[in-house]
Chains A and B, each alone.
Chain A
Amino acid sequence: MPERSPKLPLSWILVAMLPLTIILPAFNLVNSYLQQVFMYVGINIILTASLNLINGYMGEFSVGHAAFMAIGAYVSAILTVWVFPKAYGPFVFPLVLVAGGIAAALAGLLVAVPSFRTRGDYLAIVTLAFNMIVKSALENIDAVGGPRGLLGIEKLTSMAWVYVWVVISIYCIRNVVYSNYGRGVLSIREDEIAAELVTVDTRQCKVVAFVIAAFFAGVAGGLFAHLLQFINPRSFALFPKSTEILAMVYLGGVGSIGGSILGATIFTVMLEVLRPLGVWRWVAIPLALVLLMIFRPTGIMGLREWRFLVPETEAIPEASGPAQRGAGGTPGLKEADSHGNPAD
């Protein structure tokens, strides 16, 4: 089995990278701007990969991912600002992030319930409404600053923490995708009724997907809050935040973790590179996105996967698991029309 060998080096490479993310900033080998960009890329990778679990693998259309991010950001920021003394900050930071993630996961549970009955565009509205509710609620709670937002958050997010969380989130999401739940999630995308008929517990799968996606979005929110040191409800609005995450998912390609990594990286770096364009930046970016969609509707990596992200048990030479499912166009992405015929 020649495929077996890359597994060990990969985990070693990942571990070896960790000291690098501590040493590089500690000795000022990378300037703070590049560090900042690196951390944004990392946070966006977590957000994109987690949304991809819902939109790509489960085939639902969730548009309000920033809501989960907001919950994670606010919960973790409140914990570090008010609950724990400043001196403990760096030590409790991972716990605080997990707490934010759990709060977001509970919200994810809440959103998963309507998804039992609603699908497609209507579920999109549910998530859209949820995003607006969260933003509006935060604006009306004076204790967390209302529309002005929360100030004075300590800068606890470092390259190392971002790196660690990116690895954890990618690892978890990959393992979920290739687990039994993951197959259930995929079967919901392919055909929910058929999945139910073969005794897939679709409700459970939906809950798992939403909770995990929300958890990591919450963690990303916590990292974001402690990087920016300032959050307000508008940072988590439908536009631009949720829209950006959506753009990254579809730029990278649905149903692909490698695609999420690429999409988030390319999009974030492009935002920075195009900064000199000023106002025209946001003219160029959507135009590029539209052109990409026209000439490559499935995104960069749509339904394909990097070999090293596929567990060995899945690895079929040349075509990995998801790619085979995607053979012959992308059947998973077409939805039946109102008469039950596949829209072809």
Chain B
Amino acid sequence: MSEFIQQVVNGLQLGSVYTLISLGYTMVYGILRLINFAHGDIFMVGSYAGFFVTSFLLGRVLLPVAVTFVLGMLLTMCLTALLAVSIERVAYRPLRNAPRMSAVITALGIGIFLENFTLATLGPEPRRMPVLIPSTSIRIGGATVSTVQVAIILVSLLLMLLLDAFVTRTMTGIAMRAVSFDRNVALLLGVPTNRIISVTFAIGSAIAGAGGILYGQAYPIIDPYMGIRIGWWSFIAAVVGGIGNIRGAMVGSFILGFLEIFTPVVLPSSTYRDFVAFSLLLLFLVFRPTGILGQPVMKKV
């Protein structure tokens, strides 16, 4: 039983990290119908930005750890948001009316560019993220849970709630949903579409940047290719939940997190993890092609 609770917490932790990244996928998809394949690498850049910012704050400015955590998080979020907005401005906006797949290939290209630019400038050697959350164990019902896990889950939940409130309550959020519903009509009704799209990219990537730091707390080794696997899994999470749907991304991420944690528990070897997860995903998509919370797409001539 205690091991079960432990695994549940592990699943929650992983699911939280996936959520932070899959939100960016799903928001951009919702608004532009673009699979932003560069998003996993924005997460990676977020990790690196977090590494440099917090190392600087801890080592040079000599701030206390708690302040560094909050400040580093905010600065990283700003940096990744800035990066994503400039990518959108330079690479995606010229393709707004181009064939859809050209934009997807551009996103793929940007992703590979980010990975290898990081590799070329910062070197292939993995780096170790500074510890920002002091790790102590808490015992809950016989299971040992570390403060890092609790912090990751809580901060992620906070970000999710903030985002949900932002999208449903604020004017900008409503405008985002309007653009997502129908970009042309929104434009006719006076919604500044381009600005809203930029805001969407900024928010999605800021959350991914936060995910970069939090992930670095749980798995401190960061390298230029770390974004690929996490990116794919988060993307799949977004699809399972119903891509374009923010709450769906949250549901899908936790499902994938649990799947990843519980596969090695059930099966003898952890090497079957990908195999089982993707087989389930495939079956799921065959029987429910639009995801859990996705609306069935109406097909008309």
Would you call B285 and A293 a contact (CB within 8 A)? no
Residue of B103, B235, B301 ringed by the most chain A CB atoms within 10 A = B301
Q: How far is the CA of A297 from the CA of B232 in the complex (A)?
A: 25
Q: How far is the CA of A12 from the CA of B102 in the complex (A)?
A: 37
Which residue on B lies nearest to A61, using beta carbons? B101
- Residues of B within 8 Å of A339, CB to CB, are 182, 298
B190 CB within 8 Å of chain A: no
Would you call B236 and A129 a contact (CB within 8 A)? yes
B286 to chain A, nearest CB (A): 5
Q: How far is the CA of A55 from the CA of B100 in the complex (A)?
A: 12
Would you call A121 and B106 a contact (CB within 8 A)? no
Chain A stretch 273-311: residues in CB contact (< 8 A) with chain B? 279-280, 282-283, 285-287, 289-290, 293-294, 297-299, 302
B298 to chain A, nearest CB (A): 6
Would you call A137 and B275 a contact (CB within 8 A)? yes
Would you call A124 and B286 a contact (CB within 8 A)? no
Contact-size category for A: 35 or more
A171 CB within 8 Å of chain B: no
B14 CB within 8 Å of chain A: no
A128 CB within 8 Å of chain B: yes
Would you call B281 and A125 a contact (CB within 8 A)? yes
Asked whether A335 and B100 contact (CB < 8 A) given A121-B243, A122-B289, A194-B301, the answer is yes
Q: How far is the CA of A339 from the CA of B29 in the complex (A)?
A: 16
B170 CB within 8 Å of chain A: no
B287 to chain A, nearest CB (A): 9
Q: How far is the CA of A118 from the CA of B103 in the complex (A)?
A: 21
A126 CB within 8 Å of chain B: yes
Query: Inter-chain contact count A-B, CB under 8 Å?
Result: 157
Main secondary structure of the interface of A (DSSP, over half): helix
- Residues of B within 8 Å of A238, CB to CB, are 232
Residue of B33, B281, B282 ringed by the most chain A CB atoms within 10 A = B282
- Residues of B within 8 Å of A285, CB to CB, are 112
Query: When each residue 272-295 of chain B gets 1 if its CB lies under 8 Å from chain A and 0 otherwise, what string results?
Result: 111100110110011001110001
Would you call A297 and B95 a contact (CB within 8 A)? yes
B265 CB within 8 Å of chain A: no
B113 CB within 8 Å of chain A: yes
Residues of B participating in the A interface, judged by any CB pair closer than 8 Å = 29, 33, 35, 91, 94-95, 98-106, 108-113, 115-117, 119-120, 182, 228, 232, 235-236, 239, 243, 269, 271-275, 278-279, 281-282, 285-286, 289-291, 295, 297-301
Given A61-B101, A117-B289, A283-B113: 4 more A-B contacts, CB < 8 Å: A129-B281, A239-B228, A290-B106, A290-B113
Residues of A participating in the B interface, judged by any CB pair closer than 8 Å = 55, 61, 113-114, 117-118, 121-122, 124-126, 128-130, 132-133, 135-137, 139-140, 191-194, 197, 238-239, 243, 246-247, 250, 254, 279-280, 282-283, 285-287, 289-290, 293-294, 297-299, 302, 330, 333-340, 343
